[in-house]
Amino acid sequence: MKVNVAIPTYRPDSRLKEIIIRLNKQTIVPDRILIINTDEEYLSEDDYKQFNNVDIVHITKDQFDHGGTRDMAMKLLVGDYNIYMTQDAMPVNSRLIEELVVPMADDETIAVTYAKQLPSKKAGVIEKYTRAFNYGDDDILTSEDDVESIGIKAYFCSDVCAAYRTAYYDEIGGFPLKTIFNEDMIYASRALKASYRKLYASKALVVHSHNYSAWQQFTRNFDLGVSHKQFPEVFNSKMKTENEGIRLVMDTAKYLIESEEYLLLPKLVLHSGAKFVGYRLGKLYDKLPKDMVELCTMNKNYWV
């Protein structure tokens, strides 16, 4: 079994080196760890010469794309499984790779698996609950047959840490070569429509969370709306995409009340409103002035 890891980076901090150290202590050690780095001046190759399985490729900002860059990694890496991670996804233990790839080795119908994201110690109460809401304690195996009952969650996947069976990549259609966001869910939808299955591997653990401001939530969800508009074959009305967001807000509010975290309710309302408005505007991006789009987006280089 040959496993590789690809990590797109942009101005990475000290966590990247620690991630690589932990990857090399896995029960299944990756054959290659490919870093595709944007902005060469912010990453010194000398810092990674101690690792004999690390390769670094530099690209410019205008060359980066959430889908296209990961497709590039797929073509550069030769192996049975390619794992994609972000530069801030920290493996919790030595079994991360094992938990992601062994289920695929045991079941040829599984094309992609993704890991459970745990909040960092610095995560706020709402962020911690959001992680628990999206990443439960039980494995979830989904197929296209599940779309009718669970909607968009059937396609949910996250390249914060996900593994892909390379043999099926071209047949499935690969990552979209140009997308502002959601390349992982778009690929998962293609896999399920090709009669393969997707596994949420709840025992594959990484620490990953954000403490976004309301404005950051707005811009992130603007980009989310853009991707939903651009890929209607995935994110259509049948998928009930907004219903899941409403359920998260209601469940979070209930949790805050039960936990007597009343002072966080205004923050929940503010952030939820920012997400909703950003998402709705994103779905209207093609009707907005270019200056407004560039103001609202988180991924500004996408529009260059």
pLDDT, one tens digit per residue, over 209-243 is 999 999 999 999 999 999 999 999 998 866 666 67
pLDDT of residue 240: 66
> Residues 222, 173: one domain?
no
Q: Which of 179, 207, 235 is the last residue of a domain?
A: 207
d(CA 226, CA 108): 34
State the total domains in the chain: 2
Q: Which residue has the tokens 């695929």?
A: 104
pLDDT digits (tens, 9 = 90+) for 21-63: 999 999 999 999 999 999 998 898 999 999 999 999 999 999 9
To the nearest 10°, report the CA torsion of 14, 220, 183, 146: 120
Residue with tokens 């944007």: 38
Domain membership of residue 49 as a residue range: 3-207
Check whether residue 50 and residue 175 sit in a common domain: yes
**Same domain, residue pair 40 and 60:** yes
β-bridge pairing 110-118 and 32-38 = unpaired
Q: What is the largest CA-CA distance in the chain?
A: 52
Domain ends where: 207, 228, 257?
Answer: 207
Tell me how far apart the alpha carbons of residues 231 and 235 are, in angstroms, rounded to a whole number: 6
Q: Of 180, 129, 175, whose CA–CA distance to 300 is shortest? A: 180
Q: Which helix (H) or strand (E) holds 258?
A: helix 241-258
Q: Are residues 143 and 173 in the same domain?
A: yes
- The model carries a pTM of 0.94
Which parts of the chain sit beneath pLDDT 70? 237-242
Same domain, 130 and 272: no
Considering the domain architecture, whether residues 270 and 176 belong to the same structural domain is answered as: no
291 with 169, same domain: the answer is: no
